[in-house]
């Protein structure tokens, strides 16, 4: 049987990994309200002809997609958050300026994410 991980956080109910995962999740959910994210998305939009709806250009494939099919992507991944030492760099990369973000359609975003994961495994 594997070694039991010590629970040292949240009244000794969470491991270090769970604790920093919680903080990482809070920071990532706050990104949805970050004004720069919405500026980048607006810059990639155009109004559909004869409609009030907008569509968004994917920075990778150049095609236009409805709102539900695009995501704002970090050009440089935000990285890991496993210790307090990681916090400043993680926050700086997560809440970057517009030149560090791009709008991608879901298929292009998935491809980019998978390529980044593979590169991390090899490193």
What are the extents of the domains in the chain?
Answer: 16-122
How many angstroms separate the CA atoms of 69 and 71, rounded? 7
**pLDDT at residue 61, rounded to an integer:** 98
Residue (of 34, 41, 116, 112) closest to 71 by Cα position: 41
Q: Which two tokens stand for residue 20?
A: 């920093």
- The Cα–Cα gap between 109 and 81 comes to 22
| pTM for this model (two decimals) | 0.87
Q: What is the pLDDT of residue 30?
A: 97
Residue 123 confidence (pLDDT): 77
Q: Per the structure block, which two tokens stand in for 46?
A: 């155009």
Q: Which residues pair with 54 in a beta bridge?
A: 47
Across the chain, which has 123 residues, the per-10-residue mean pLDDT values are 84 95 97 98 91 92 96 95 96 98 98 94 84
Q: What's the confidence (pLDDT) of residue 48?
A: 81
47, β-bridge pairs = 54
């Amino acid at each position: 049987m594997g070694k039991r991980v010590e629970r040292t956080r949240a009244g000794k109910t969470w491991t270090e990994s769970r604790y920093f995962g919680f903080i990482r999740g809070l920071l990532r959910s706050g990104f949805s309200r970050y004004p720069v994210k919405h500026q980048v998305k607006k810059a990639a939009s155009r109004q559909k002809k004869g409609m009030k709806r907008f569509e968004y250009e994917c920075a990778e494939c150049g095609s236009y997609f409805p709102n539900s099919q695009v995501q704002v992507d970090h050009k440089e991944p935000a990285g890991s958050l496993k210790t307090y030492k990681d916090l400043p760099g993680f926050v700086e990369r997560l809440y970057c300026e517009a030149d560090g973000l791009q709008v991608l359609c879901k298929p292009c975003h998935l491809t980019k994410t998978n390529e980044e994961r593979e590169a991390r495994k090899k490193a």
